[in-house]
Copies of this chain bind each other. A is one copy, B any other.
Protein backbone atom coordinates (compact mmCIF):
# COMPACT_ATOMS: atom_id res chain seq x y z
CA UNK A 1 0.00 0.00 0.00
CA UNK A 2 2.72 2.44 0.95
CA UNK A 3 4.54 1.70 -2.25
CA UNK A 4 1.72 2.85 -4.52
CA UNK A 5 1.04 5.90 -2.36
CA UNK A 6 4.72 6.77 -2.38
CA UNK A 7 4.82 6.32 -6.11
CA UNK A 8 1.89 8.70 -6.56
CA UNK A 9 3.51 11.22 -4.23
CA UNK A 10 6.75 10.93 -6.19
CA UNK A 11 4.97 11.54 -9.46
CA UNK A 12 3.09 14.45 -7.92
CA UNK A 13 6.33 15.92 -6.62
CA UNK A 14 7.93 15.62 -10.00
CA UNK A 15 5.10 17.42 -11.73
CA UNK A 16 5.35 20.04 -8.98
CA UNK A 17 9.06 20.39 -9.56
CA UNK A 18 8.59 21.00 -13.25
CA UNK A 19 6.08 23.70 -12.35
CA UNK A 20 8.57 25.23 -9.92
CA UNK A 21 11.25 25.19 -12.58
CA UNK A 22 8.95 27.04 -14.96
CA UNK A 23 8.25 29.61 -12.24
CA UNK A 24 11.94 29.82 -11.37
CA UNK A 25 12.72 30.43 -15.02
CA UNK A 26 10.19 33.27 -15.12
CA UNK A 27 11.67 34.63 -11.90
CA UNK A 28 15.12 34.50 -13.42
CA UNK A 29 13.81 36.56 -16.31
CA UNK A 30 12.31 39.02 -13.82
CA UNK A 31 15.67 39.20 -12.01
CA UNK A 32 17.35 40.09 -15.24
CA UNK A 33 15.11 43.13 -15.51
CA UNK A 34 14.92 44.11 -11.86
CA UNK A 35 18.30 43.02 -10.52
CA UNK A 36 18.65 40.48 -7.73
CA UNK A 37 16.45 40.49 -4.63
CA UNK A 38 13.52 42.51 -6.09
CA UNK A 39 11.46 42.18 -2.90
CA UNK A 40 14.22 43.78 -0.81
CA UNK A 41 14.20 47.55 -0.45
CA UNK A 42 17.43 49.30 -1.34
CA UNK A 43 19.52 50.15 1.69
CA UNK A 44 22.46 48.95 3.79
CA UNK A 45 20.98 45.48 4.43
CA UNK A 46 20.44 44.63 0.77
CA UNK A 47 23.82 46.17 -0.07
CA UNK A 48 25.57 44.08 2.60
CA UNK A 49 24.15 40.89 1.06
CA UNK A 50 25.02 41.75 -2.53
CA UNK A 51 28.50 42.94 -1.56
CA UNK A 52 29.23 39.79 0.43
CA UNK A 53 28.15 37.51 -2.40
CA UNK A 54 30.31 39.45 -4.87
CA UNK A 55 33.34 39.30 -2.56
CA UNK A 56 33.24 35.53 -1.96
CA UNK A 57 32.18 34.42 -5.41
CA UNK A 58 34.91 36.14 -7.37
CA UNK A 59 36.21 39.10 -5.44
CA UNK A 60 38.70 39.83 -2.70
CA UNK A 61 37.49 37.09 -0.35
CA UNK A 62 37.06 34.30 -2.88
CA UNK A 63 35.70 31.06 -1.42
CA UNK A 64 35.74 27.84 -3.49
CA UNK A 65 32.17 26.88 -4.51
CA UNK A 66 32.32 23.63 -2.53
CA UNK A 67 32.75 25.68 0.65
CA UNK A 68 29.94 28.14 -0.06
CA UNK A 69 27.61 26.63 2.50
CA UNK A 70 24.66 28.74 3.62
CA UNK A 71 22.43 27.67 6.51
CA UNK A 72 18.99 28.99 7.33
CA UNK A 73 16.80 28.51 10.33
CA UNK A 74 13.24 27.75 9.20
CA UNK A 75 10.58 28.90 11.71
CA UNK A 76 10.55 32.71 11.73
CA UNK A 77 13.43 32.91 9.24
CA UNK A 78 12.07 31.29 6.07
CA UNK A 79 8.41 31.01 7.04
CA UNK A 80 6.12 32.46 9.66
CA UNK A 81 6.07 30.96 13.17
CA UNK A 82 3.03 32.70 14.68
CA UNK A 83 0.62 32.36 16.42
CA UNK A 84 2.12 28.87 17.07
CA UNK A 85 4.93 26.92 15.40
CA UNK A 86 3.31 25.42 12.31
CA UNK A 87 4.40 21.95 13.35
CA UNK A 88 2.30 22.35 16.49
CA UNK A 89 -0.64 23.41 14.31
CA UNK A 90 -0.04 20.25 12.28
CA UNK A 91 -0.05 18.13 15.46
CA UNK A 92 -3.33 19.67 16.64
CA UNK A 93 -4.93 19.17 13.22
CA UNK A 94 -3.75 15.54 13.24
CA UNK A 95 -5.41 14.99 16.62
CA UNK A 96 -8.66 16.31 15.12
CA UNK A 97 -8.25 14.09 12.05
CA UNK A 98 -7.50 11.02 14.17
CA UNK A 99 -10.26 11.69 16.73
CA UNK A 100 -12.93 9.65 14.94
CA UNK A 101 -10.87 6.53 15.58
CA UNK A 102 -10.31 7.50 19.20
CA UNK A 103 -13.70 8.18 20.84
CA UNK A 104 -11.98 8.04 24.24
CA UNK A 105 -10.24 11.34 23.47
CA UNK A 106 -13.54 13.16 24.06
CA UNK A 107 -12.98 12.66 27.76
CA UNK A 108 -9.19 12.24 28.00
CA UNK A 109 -6.64 15.02 28.41
CA UNK A 110 -4.66 16.44 26.71
CA UNK A 111 -6.64 15.30 23.66
CA UNK A 112 -9.94 16.70 24.91
CA UNK A 113 -8.29 20.13 25.27
CA UNK A 114 -7.13 20.06 21.64
CA UNK A 115 -10.54 18.92 20.36
CA UNK A 116 -12.35 21.57 22.46
CA UNK A 117 -9.75 24.25 21.55
CA UNK A 118 -9.43 24.74 25.31
CA UNK A 119 -6.04 26.40 25.51
CA UNK A 120 -6.26 26.77 29.29
CA UNK A 121 -6.71 23.02 29.82
CA UNK A 122 -3.97 22.38 27.28
CA UNK A 123 -1.57 24.66 29.13
CA UNK A 124 -2.50 22.87 32.35
CA UNK A 125 -1.38 19.56 30.80
CA UNK A 126 2.09 21.11 30.59
CA UNK A 127 5.09 19.77 28.74
CA UNK A 128 3.98 16.22 29.42
CA UNK A 129 0.72 16.89 27.59
CA UNK A 130 2.48 18.43 24.60
CA UNK A 131 4.93 15.53 24.38
CA UNK A 132 1.96 13.14 24.49
CA UNK A 133 0.37 14.96 21.57
CA UNK A 134 3.64 14.93 19.63
CA UNK A 135 4.19 11.22 20.31
CA UNK A 136 0.64 10.42 19.19
CA UNK A 137 0.90 12.41 15.98
CA UNK A 138 4.58 11.83 15.12
CA UNK A 139 5.29 8.24 16.17
CA UNK A 140 3.88 4.74 15.95
CA UNK A 141 3.74 4.79 12.16
CA UNK A 142 6.05 4.18 9.22
CA UNK A 143 8.04 7.12 7.84
CA UNK A 144 6.16 6.86 4.51
CA UNK A 145 2.81 7.15 6.30
CA UNK A 146 3.96 10.19 8.27
CA UNK A 147 5.24 11.83 5.10
CA UNK A 148 1.84 11.27 3.50
CA UNK A 149 0.07 12.85 6.50
CA UNK A 150 2.31 15.93 6.24
CA UNK A 151 1.57 16.17 2.51
CA UNK A 152 -2.19 16.04 3.13
CA UNK A 153 -1.92 18.70 5.81
CA UNK A 154 0.12 21.15 3.73
CA UNK A 155 -2.41 20.69 0.90
CA UNK A 156 -5.50 21.30 3.02
CA UNK A 157 -4.78 23.20 6.27
CA UNK A 158 -5.14 26.98 6.41
CA UNK A 159 -3.39 29.54 8.58
CA UNK A 160 -5.92 31.05 11.05
CA UNK A 161 -5.10 34.69 10.24
CA UNK A 162 -4.12 34.63 6.57
CA UNK A 163 -6.45 31.80 5.51
CA UNK A 164 -3.77 30.46 3.19
CA UNK A 165 -1.92 27.13 3.07
CA UNK A 166 0.94 27.26 5.55
CA UNK A 167 3.46 26.74 2.74
CA UNK A 168 2.37 30.13 1.33
CA UNK A 169 3.44 31.78 4.58
CA UNK A 170 7.04 31.75 3.36
CA UNK A 171 8.91 35.03 3.07
CA UNK A 172 9.25 36.11 -0.54
CA UNK A 173 12.51 38.04 0.11
CA UNK A 174 14.07 34.92 1.65
CA UNK A 175 13.00 32.79 -1.34
CA UNK A 176 14.79 35.32 -3.52
CA UNK A 177 17.84 35.23 -1.25
CA UNK A 178 18.00 31.41 -1.43
CA UNK A 179 17.78 31.50 -5.23
CA UNK A 180 20.32 34.32 -5.44
CA UNK A 181 22.84 32.41 -3.31
CA UNK A 182 22.36 29.24 -5.35
CA UNK A 183 22.78 31.21 -8.57
CA UNK A 184 26.16 32.26 -7.13
CA UNK A 185 27.35 28.75 -6.41
CA UNK A 186 26.12 28.39 -2.85
CA UNK A 187 24.58 25.22 -1.46
CA UNK A 188 21.62 26.16 0.73
CA UNK A 189 20.65 24.18 3.84
CA UNK A 190 17.88 24.41 6.39
CA UNK A 191 19.05 23.98 9.99
CA UNK A 192 15.89 24.01 12.06
CA UNK A 193 14.66 23.00 15.49
CA UNK A 194 11.64 21.58 13.65
CA UNK A 195 11.27 17.91 12.88
CA UNK A 196 13.29 16.86 9.87
CA UNK A 197 10.52 14.57 8.62
CA UNK A 198 7.94 17.31 9.02
CA UNK A 199 9.92 19.60 6.71
CA UNK A 200 11.25 17.31 4.01
CA UNK A 201 7.96 16.55 2.22
CA UNK A 202 7.60 20.20 1.14
CA UNK A 203 10.99 21.97 1.31
CA UNK A 204 12.04 21.07 -2.23
CA UNK A 205 8.89 22.42 -3.81
CA UNK A 206 8.65 25.43 -1.51
CA UNK A 207 12.29 26.51 -1.11
CA UNK A 208 14.16 24.54 -3.78
CA UNK A 209 15.99 22.80 -0.93
CA UNK A 210 16.13 19.00 -1.39
CA UNK A 211 15.54 16.61 1.55
CA UNK A 212 19.24 15.84 1.92
CA UNK A 213 19.91 19.52 2.67
CA UNK A 214 17.41 19.70 5.51
CA UNK A 215 18.85 19.36 9.02
CA UNK A 216 16.40 19.17 11.90
CA UNK A 217 15.33 17.49 15.10
CA UNK A 218 14.54 13.80 14.86
CA UNK A 219 13.07 10.85 16.66
CA UNK A 220 14.48 7.34 16.63
CA UNK A 221 13.36 5.20 13.69
CA UNK A 222 13.51 1.43 13.70
CA UNK A 223 14.07 -0.71 10.61
CA UNK A 224 11.75 -3.69 10.38
CA UNK A 225 10.15 -6.07 7.92
CA UNK A 226 6.42 -5.42 8.23
CA UNK A 227 3.51 -7.90 8.13
CA UNK A 228 3.37 -7.59 4.34
CA UNK A 229 7.03 -8.61 4.11
CA UNK A 230 8.11 -5.07 3.18
CA UNK A 231 11.01 -3.27 4.86
CA UNK A 232 9.88 -0.12 6.61
CA UNK A 233 11.13 2.45 9.08
CA UNK A 234 8.91 2.74 12.12
CA UNK A 235 8.89 6.08 13.94
CA UNK A 236 9.34 5.54 17.68
CA UNK A 237 8.20 7.91 20.42
CA UNK A 238 11.78 8.59 21.46
CA UNK A 239 13.65 11.82 20.84
CA UNK A 240 16.96 11.23 19.13
CA UNK A 241 18.34 14.69 18.48
CA UNK A 242 17.21 18.24 19.22
CA UNK A 243 18.56 20.57 16.57
CA UNK A 244 18.15 23.79 18.54
CA UNK A 245 20.46 26.19 20.38
CA UNK A 246 23.81 24.42 20.92
CA UNK A 247 22.32 21.51 18.98
CA UNK A 248 22.48 23.56 15.77
CA UNK A 249 26.28 23.65 15.39
CA UNK A 250 26.29 19.98 16.44
CA UNK A 251 23.69 19.27 13.74
CA UNK A 252 25.72 21.21 11.17
CA UNK A 253 28.79 19.20 12.12
CA UNK A 254 26.92 15.92 11.88
CA UNK A 255 24.94 16.49 8.69
CA UNK A 256 27.07 18.91 6.71
CA UNK A 257 30.54 18.35 8.15
CA UNK A 258 31.74 21.73 6.95
CA UNK A 259 31.45 25.15 8.58
CA UNK A 260 28.99 27.46 6.78
CA UNK A 261 30.00 30.92 5.59
CA UNK A 262 26.44 32.27 5.68
CA UNK A 263 23.98 31.77 8.54
CA UNK A 264 20.55 33.30 8.95
CA UNK A 265 18.32 33.03 11.99
CA UNK A 266 15.76 35.00 13.94
CA UNK A 267 15.87 33.93 17.56
CA UNK A 268 18.02 32.92 20.52
CA UNK A 269 17.74 29.32 19.31
CA UNK A 270 19.99 30.37 16.42
CA UNK A 271 22.68 32.06 18.52
CA UNK A 272 25.15 29.17 18.65
CA UNK A 273 24.73 28.48 14.92
CA UNK A 274 25.57 32.13 14.23
CA UNK A 275 28.54 32.04 16.64
CA UNK A 276 29.87 28.83 15.08
CA UNK A 277 29.55 30.25 11.58
CA UNK A 278 31.08 33.58 12.58
CA UNK A 279 34.13 31.92 14.16
CA UNK A 280 35.42 30.39 10.93
CA UNK A 281 38.27 31.97 8.97
CA UNK A 282 37.67 34.31 6.03
CA UNK A 283 34.58 36.25 5.03
CA UNK A 284 31.32 35.46 6.83
CA UNK A 285 27.75 36.69 6.62
CA UNK A 286 25.53 36.55 9.68
CA UNK A 287 21.92 37.62 9.35
CA UNK A 288 18.97 37.97 11.67
CA UNK A 289 15.36 38.45 10.60
CA UNK A 290 13.78 40.93 13.01
CA UNK A 291 9.99 40.70 13.12
CA UNK A 292 8.92 44.35 13.16
CA UNK A 293 5.86 44.29 10.93
CA UNK A 294 2.62 43.73 12.86
CA UNK A 295 0.60 44.84 9.86
CA UNK A 296 1.93 42.49 7.20
CA UNK A 297 3.14 39.74 9.57
CA UNK A 298 3.85 39.93 13.34
CA UNK A 299 5.99 42.16 15.57
CA UNK A 300 7.94 40.50 18.39
CA UNK A 301 11.42 40.06 19.86
CA UNK A 302 12.87 40.04 23.40
CA UNK A 303 9.78 38.97 25.34
CA UNK A 304 8.14 36.70 22.80
CA UNK A 305 7.29 33.19 23.90
CA UNK A 306 7.84 31.96 20.35
CA UNK A 307 10.90 33.27 18.52
CA UNK A 308 12.43 35.12 21.48
CA UNK A 309 15.23 37.37 20.19
CA UNK A 310 17.15 38.57 23.23
CA UNK A 311 20.72 37.29 23.63
CA UNK A 312 21.15 36.86 19.88
CA UNK A 313 19.99 40.46 19.44
CA UNK A 314 22.61 41.76 21.86
CA UNK A 315 25.33 39.74 20.18
CA UNK A 316 24.22 40.88 16.71
CA UNK A 317 24.44 44.53 17.77
CA UNK A 318 27.79 44.02 19.49
CA UNK A 319 29.35 42.18 16.56
CA UNK A 320 27.76 44.13 13.75
CA UNK A 321 25.78 41.25 12.27
CA UNK A 322 23.16 42.18 9.68
CA UNK A 323 19.74 42.69 11.23
CA UNK A 324 16.89 42.65 8.72
CA UNK A 325 14.06 44.96 9.74
CA UNK A 326 11.07 43.32 8.08
CA UNK A 327 8.96 46.49 7.97
CA UNK A 328 11.78 48.57 6.54
CA UNK A 329 13.86 46.17 4.44
CA UNK A 330 11.19 44.06 2.78
CA UNK A 331 9.10 45.47 -0.05
CA UNK A 332 6.96 42.35 0.01
CA UNK A 333 6.65 39.84 2.86
CA UNK A 334 4.43 37.16 1.27
CA UNK A 335 4.02 36.54 -2.46
CA UNK A 336 0.21 36.58 -2.17
CA UNK A 337 0.32 40.28 -1.15
CA UNK A 338 1.11 41.01 -4.77
CA UNK A 339 -2.07 39.36 -6.00
CA UNK A 340 -0.38 36.06 -6.74
CA UNK A 341 -2.76 33.23 -7.53
CA UNK A 342 -1.60 31.58 -4.35
CA UNK A 343 0.54 28.83 -5.84
CA UNK A 344 3.34 28.15 -3.40
CA UNK A 345 6.73 28.64 -4.96
Instruction: Using CB atoms and an 8 Å cutoff, list the residues of chain A in contact with chain B.
Output: 3-4, 6-7, 10, 14, 17, 64, 66-67, 69, 143, 187, 189, 196-197, 200, 204, 210-214, 218, 220-223, 225, 230-231, 233, 240-241, 246-247, 249-250, 253-258, 272, 275-276, 279-282
Smallest CB separation, A70 vs chain B (Å):
12
Q: Report chain B residues within 8 Å CB of A143.
A: 253
Alpha-carbon separation in the docked complex, A233 to B257 (Å): 12
**A223 in contact with B256 given A66-B17, A212-B187, A249-B231 (CB within 8 Å):** no
Smallest CB separation, A24 vs chain B (Å):
14
Contact A14 B64 (CB under 8 A): yes
Contact B222 A256 (CB under 8 A): no
Alpha-carbon separation in the docked complex, A6 to B279 (Å): 11
Q: Report chain B residues within 8 Å CB of A256.
A: 211-212
Q: Report chain B residues within 8 Å CB of A187.
A: 212
Alpha-carbon separation in the docked complex, A231 to B272 (Å): 8
Q: Report chain B residues within 8 Å CB of A223.
A: 246-247, 249-250, 272, 276
Contact B210 A279 (CB under 8 A): no
Contact B211 A257 (CB under 8 A): yes
Contact B281 A221 (CB under 8 A): no
